[in-house]
Chain A
């Protein structure tokens, strides 16, 4: 199959993800809608009402129940999805570990929003980073197109026999979820063919072969289970690359573990996730025109994190500024810690960390310019003024 003709549309991020979910046609979709992911369920339940999908939606009484219902439906043998944000993900947290421990390939659309308190509904990555160690594959998306494409690829990655892990597709709340952009949808038939049929491993509804899941495991076996789970996550790297390569061949859009933007010969590099990358690319272009060798590394896959590849891509830079839209209070930003780990085998660039955009605080082109200029200075002097600093904050 050659590159398919696709339809260009103007939609917001939530609509884009809802459209992907319609095309994926999961068996069960339990959810407890929460801002800013509400639009996904609003669109999706209309597809259910209008008979556009075969999905059974379960409107539950909390997000803890939503994830519990996902686990039950997935263990039964169904293809399952849900959508949430911030406090919703936080309430799911206990069950997120159960989903990954049971090795259930559940799909979560996570529309990134700041965690309370103070109560805030706008976009940052504190929810996504809060589920970092829950054993889920985590993909991040710069815009509606990437959120849509990542969602289309999600089941192929999560359901692969060497992986069988739940997967979360992140996109920035409001900035992407509620902004209308032009993007392309893939025709229904092509998505159906690409995703294929789901064959569950040991489903509970196979009643001729009764089985039990979730048994108590004591110190004599717990570590073996966790070691097997880690292996599945390691296996995900190859599967993500393979699925992305197949996607690129069929649909013409290329994805990898991270995006390298003018990175090849870059001396000053910014690392950032999600929507901020769009603004940073514009500013990288402006500085390139001025003769500054600037570049961007935008991780797409946060778990499993591509330490070796990211390290190799950054080791020749002179200065790297990692921008975090989440914080670990009293520690460095979570993305900074990953990049620092990636570079630890090398006597590489000077590293520093900026915390930006918490609770939906805008990151303007001028803010990025200041960061690039400081990175140029750090490259020149070989010394960072301070390792971690909040930017766009009133001092």
Chain B
């Protein structure tokens, strides 16, 4: 994406287009990466509720795999995940492992 120069910026940096944060990829900020273990997932959607970003896409009321372009690896989803029979459906792993 070509970066704007100072003359091209919108007045006062106001954001005029709704939802354009989606164009800004923040996945590279992550040091820990959540991994989804589908067989342990009960589709409670706690992870979707607690995710402070929009890194858990939901389709037909079911969560899909992580949107790693926007997940910053905060780990809140893994913390909140109730799992199935004591086995977490989300685990945090070192990035690049």
Seen from chain A, the residues whose Cβ lies within 8 Å of a Cβ on chain B are 101-104, 164, 201-202, 209-213, 215, 217, 220-221, 223-225, 227-228, 231
Please tell me if the beta carbons of B11 and A103 are within 8 angstroms of each other in the complex.
Answer: yes
Evaluate contact between B6 and A225: CB separation under 8 angstroms. yes
Specify which chain B residues have a CB less than 8 angstroms from the CB of A201 in the assembled complex.
11-12
Any A CB within 8 A of the CB of B14: yes
A-facing mask of B7-32, CB < 8 A → 1, else 0? 10111111110100000000000000
Further contacts, 6 of them, CB under 8 A, given A201-B11, A201-B12, A221-B3: A164-B11, A202-B12, A202-B14, A213-B12, A224-B4, A225-B13
Rounded to whole Å, the gap between the CB of A224 and the closest CB of chain B is 4
List B contacts of A231 (CB < 8 A). Answer: 6
CB of B50 to closest CB in A, whole Å: 21
Most buried by A among B3, B11, B13, B18: B13
Complex CA gap A315/B43 in Å reads 78
Closest chain B CB from A110 CB (angstroms): 23
Q: How many residues of B sit at the interface, in one of the four size bands?
A: 10 to 19
A213–B11 touching, CB < 8 Å: no
What is the bound-complex CA distance between A231 and B7, given in angstroms?
Answer: 9
B8, closest chain A residue (CB): A224
Task: For the complex formed, measure the closest distance between the CB of B65 and the CB atoms of chain A, giving whole angstroms.
Answer: 27
Whether A224 lies near B9 (C-beta < 8 A) is yes
A sample of 5 inter-chain contacts (CB < 8 A) reads A201-B12, A202-B12, A221-B3, A221-B9, A225-B6
- Residue pair B3, A220 in contact (C-beta under 8 Å): yes
Distance between Cα atoms of A104 and B11 in the complex (Å): 11
**A212 touching B11, Cβ below 8 Å:** no
Instruction: Determine how close the nearest CB of chain A comes to the CB of B24; give it in whole angstroms.
Output: 9
Closest-CB distance, B84 to chain A (whole angstroms): 38
- Return chain B residues, CB-CB under 8 Å to A228: 6-7, 9
- CB < 8 Å: which of B12, B16, B18 contacts A103? B12
| Contact yes or no, A164 B18, CB < 8 A | no
**A202 near B11: Cβ-Cβ < 8 Å:** yes
Residue numbers in B under 8 Å from A215 (CB-CB): 13, 15
Taking CB atoms, residues of chain B closer than 8 Å to A101 are 12-13
- Whether A227 and B15, one on each chain, are in contact in the complex, defined by CB atoms closer than 8 angstroms, is no
B15 vs chain A, min Cβ distance (A): 4
Contact A211 B9 (CB under 8 A): no
A-B pairs with lowest CB-CB distance, top 8: A103-B12, A227-B6, A224-B6, A212-B15, A228-B6, A202-B14, A213-B14, A211-B16
B10: chain A residues at CB < 8 Å are 202
CB distance from A106 to the nearest CB of B (A): 13
Are the CB atoms of B16 and A209 closer together than 8 Å? Answer: yes
Which among B6, B15, B16 has the greatest number of chain A C-beta atoms within 10 A?
B6
| B-chain residues with CB within 8 Å of residue A164 when the two chains form the complex | 11-12
- The residue on B at minimum CB distance from A204 is B14
Residues of A within 8 A of B6 (CB): 223-225, 227-228, 231
For B14, the chain A residues whose CB sits under 8 A away are 202, 211-213
Q: How far is the CA of A221 from the CA of B10 in the complex (A)?
A: 12
Cβ-defined partner of B12 (8 Å) among A102, A210, A221, A227:
A102
* Chain B residues in 8 Å Cβ range of A224: 4-6, 9
Most buried by A among B11, B14, B16: B14
User: Chain B: which residue is nearest A209 at the CB level?
Assistant: B16
- Which residues of A have CB within 8 Å of B15? 211-213, 215
Residue among B3, B5, B15 having the largest count of chain A Cβ atoms under 10 Å: B15
- Shortest beta-carbon distance, A97 to chain B, in Å? 13
What is the distance, in angstroms, from B17's C-beta to the closest C-beta of chain A? 9
User: What's the Cα separation between A103 and B10 when bound, in Å?
Assistant: 11
**In the complex the two chains form, what is the Cα distance from A103 to B6 in whole Å?**
14
**In contact, A202 and B9 (Cβ under 8 angstroms):** no
Question: Which of A211, A217, A228 has the largest count of B CB atoms less than 10 A from its CB?
Answer: A228
Do residues B9 and A225 form an inter-chain contact, with CB atoms below 8 A?
yes
**Chain A minimum-CB-distance residue to B18:** A210
| Interface-central residue, B3, B10, B11, by most chain A CB under 10 Å | B11
Q: How far is the CB of A76 from chain B (nearest CB, A)?
A: 13
